């Protein structure tokens, strides 16, 4: 029986790509480079800031310059962290439905807490979340199961009582390693090189409200 639903943050709970794309393109402009199309940036968002900077600047940037660009990118993003970010369509209704069933929910993300916390607060979700575990809450990060198990403890559930929804292979691996049921968020930031059918998730959903079938036991 599922008592807790846990979510990845970027590309699952919240559509953060517009603000991350804005921060990347502002960083590119500051370096005299042309901005990238949103469609090019979106599939890379779930892989973090380092991957986005490599998308924009390639691998030829010196380490010191890369560090400077990373700081500029992250500070720009923090300043505009809820400029255009919203919950995915149907996600607000899903959270309300989870709560109406007497269940709780939380977030496990590889995003550092100094970005996770203002984002969750800006979306008005912090008081409602039974667990918030960021990428630097523990020494381990997804796909390690440790952050997942910490979220379970915060939410008062065991791994087998949790369902995890994510849009990256490491999300599914982390959930499986923690003994959770797992679902792929096909509405998230999957790219052409992603093959979610090979991730061994329990299922895949194309809209947040389809998760309710799994809570109701109608998952065939």
Q: Which residues are designated catalytic?
A: 8, 10
Q: Evaluate whether 66 touches 103 at the Cβ level (below 8 Å).
A: no
Phi and psi angles of residue 167, each rounded to the nearest 5 degrees, phi first: -120, 15
Q: Which residue has the tokens 């993300």?
A: 109
Alpha helices in 13-112 (DSSP H): 17-30, 38-41, 49-57, 63-79, 91-100
Q: How many CB atoms lie within 10 A of CB 160?
A: 13
Residue 140 φ/ψ region, left for φ over 0, alpha for ψ in the -120 to 50 degree band, beta for the rest:
beta
């Amino acid at each position: 029986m599922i008592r807790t639903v846990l979510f990845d943050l970027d590309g699952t709970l919240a559509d953060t790509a517009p603000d991350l794309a804005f921060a990347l393109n502002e960083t590119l402009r500051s370096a005299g480079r042309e901005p990238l199309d949103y469609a090019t940036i979106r599939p890379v968002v779930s892989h973090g800031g380092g991957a986005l900077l490599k998308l924009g600047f390639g691998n030829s940037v010196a380490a010191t310059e890369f560090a400077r660009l990373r700081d500029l990118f992250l500070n720009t993003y923090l300043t505009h962290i809820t400029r255009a970010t919203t919950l995915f369509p149907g996600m607000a209704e899903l959270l309300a439905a989870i709560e109406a069933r007497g269940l709780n929910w939380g977030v496990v993300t590889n995003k550092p807490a100094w970005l996770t916390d203002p984002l969750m607060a800006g979306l008005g979700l912090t008081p409602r979340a039974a667990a918030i575990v960021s990428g630097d809450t523990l020494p381990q990060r997804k796909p390690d199961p440790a952050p997942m198990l910490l979220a379970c403890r915060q939410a008062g559930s065991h791994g087998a009582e949790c369902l995890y929804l994510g849009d990256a292979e490491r999300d599914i691996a982390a959930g499986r390693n923690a003994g959770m049921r797992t679902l792929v968020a096909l509405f998230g930031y999957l790219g052409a090189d992603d093959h979610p059918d090979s991730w061994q998730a329990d299922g895949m959903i194309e809209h947040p409200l389809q998760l309710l079938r799994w809570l109701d036991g109608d998952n065939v």
